[in-house]
């Protein structure tokens, strides 16, 4: 298929690079200086298909338009290590004191989900412009509602660190679908053994972005009946229907450590394999005797592949400049949590259809045993 080059493709290379960067420079801070905030990349040295960094601190350092100026943690040992790694001298054990003294504009919140609602509220009430909160968003739907409301009330942008939504190959895939090259999206498939709320938030946030509409109802089957009786995170399969008719299938009965995604459109499909390392484009083409076939074509990989977390941090900076977050707003984090809870509730009730939004906002998922 041939098409006219887009306006972006007609620009000279230096202009494309310049346009991708935030226009201003923003002071950044990390609340939670442990694994996700600082050290997770240590676990993946030498692993293939691993675009560093995923930790928030080094991603802020590498991101254009963001300066890492402070860290907050209750553990003095983690603070000392944070300072040694990243050269940050402004270290705090109190969020409000840090905001008052350092005036950050973007704050990553990488605490445990039990602590996240209070931290987000404190940051919003202190006037932080944008909060980048890791997933899962929190434990209960009422907490998710309150986090979104406190940010709205205080004019704070709430973005979820479902950073795959910013990852350049998924951006390219979404643009390909939106241009109409393979027709409208019909359904999505996610194959993974990961739990529904923690790592599953990445899949569900991606599905929400690609679907372009909120989820309407779900049906679920959990892998373990005993786990389904509790409030801890768990794995399972399910079916999600979105308000515009797009459907999603979650499949947990796959080989261990599998993570692949498929986006099926009217005239083709896009497949992400090997933990987002490989992308395939298949297009529907006419064959002999009126038959049609899926033919693999070259996937339009982006011009600058790099860490999805760096892309996300820059995206949050740009959201300040346009006044809203559209790639992974707090509402996507809440929906990911709500779908996970609803899938478990469906299992508990005999795998029946469960409509969204859930009326019982006290329902919980992800609590420590």
How much is the pLDDT for 47? 78
Q: Which of 84, 98, 125, 79 is nearest to 28 (CA)?
A: 98
CA–CA separation, 53 and 332 (whole Å)? 23
**Residue 286 pLDDT greater than 80, yes or no:** no
pLDDT in tens, 60-115: 999 999 999 999 999 999 999 999 999 999 999 999 999 999 999 999 999 999 99
The single-letter DSSP state of residue 87 is -
Look up tokens 């939670």; give the residue: 32
Nearest CA to 150 out of 128, 120, 130, 129 is that of 120
Instruction: Record the pTM.
Output: 0.93
Q: What is the pLDDT of residues 178-210, one digit of tens each?
A: 999 999 999 999 999 999 999 999 999 999 999
Asked if the peptide bond before residue 139 counts as cis, ω within 30 degrees of 0, the response is no
Distance of CA 165 to the CA centre of its chain: 5
Nearest C-alpha neighbor of 159 from the set 232, 90, 85, 109: 109
* The pLDDT of residue 174: 97
pLDDT reported for residue 257 = 85
Instruction: Look at 9-13, 154-158, 179-183, 321-325 and tell me which has the smallest mean pLDDT.
Output: 9-13
Q: Determine contact, residues 96/124, Cβ cutoff 8 Å.
A: no
Count, residues in the chain: 369
Contact between 257 and 274 (Cβ < 8 Å): no
Domains and CATH numbers, the chain: 18-162 (3.40.50.720), 165-307+329-355 (3.30.360.10)
Report the first-to-last Cα separation within the chain, whole angstroms: 54
Please check the confidence at residue 368 and state whether its pLDDT lies above 90.
no
The pLDDT of residue 6:
56
Residue 313 has pLDDT above 80, yes or no: yes
Q: What is the CA radius of gyration of the chain?
A: 21
pLDDT in tens, 107-149: 999 999 999 999 999 999 999 999 999 999 999 999 999 999 9
**Other CB atoms closer than 10 Å to residue 359's CB: what's the count?**
8
């Amino acid at each position: 298929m041939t098409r006219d080059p887009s306006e972006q493709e007609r620009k000279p290379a230096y202009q494309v690079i310049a346009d991708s960067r935030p226009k201003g420079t923003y002071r950044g801070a990390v609340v939670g200086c442990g694994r996700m905030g600082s050290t997770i990349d240590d676990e993946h040295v030498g692993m293939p298909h691993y675009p560093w960094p995923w930790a928030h601190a080094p991603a802020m350092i590498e991101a254009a338009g963001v300066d890492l100026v402070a860290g907050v943690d209750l553990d003095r040992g983690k603070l000392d290590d944070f300072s040694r790694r990243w050269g940050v001298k402004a270290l705090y054990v109190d969020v409000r004191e840090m905001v008052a003294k350092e005036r950050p504009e973007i704050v990553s919140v990488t605490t445990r989900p039990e602590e996240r609602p209070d931290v987000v509220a404190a940051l919003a009430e202190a006037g932080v412009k944008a909060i980048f909160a890791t997933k899962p968003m929190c434990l209960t739907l009422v907490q998710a509602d309150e986090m979104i409301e406190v940010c709205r009330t205080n004019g704070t942008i709430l973005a979820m660190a479902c950073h795959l939504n910013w990852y350049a190959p998924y951006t390219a895939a979404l643009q390909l679908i939106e241009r109409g090259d393979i027709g409208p999206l019909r359904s999505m498939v996610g194959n993974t053994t990961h739990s529904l709320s923690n790592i599953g938030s990445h899949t569900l946030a991606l599905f929400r972005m690609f679907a372009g509409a909120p989820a309407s109802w779900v049906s679920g089957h959990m892998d373990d009946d005993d786990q389904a009786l509790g409030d801890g995170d768990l794995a399972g399969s399910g079916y999600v229907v979105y308000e515009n008719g797009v459907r999603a299938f979650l499949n947990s009965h796959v080989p261990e450590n599998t993570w692949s995604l498929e986006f099926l459109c009217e005239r083709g499909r896009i497949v992400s394999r090997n933990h987002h390392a490989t992308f395939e484009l298949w297009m529907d083409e006419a064959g002999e005797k009126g038959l049609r076939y899926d033919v693999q074509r070259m996937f339009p990989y982006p011009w600058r592949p790099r860490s999805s977390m760096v892309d996300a941090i820059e995206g949050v900076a740009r959201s300040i400049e346009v006044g809203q977050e559209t790639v992974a707003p707090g509402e996507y984090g809440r929906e990911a949590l709500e779908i996970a809870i609803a899938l478990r509730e469906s299992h508990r009730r005999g795998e029946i259809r469960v409509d969204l939004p859930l009326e019982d906002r006290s329902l919980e998922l992800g609590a420590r045993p």
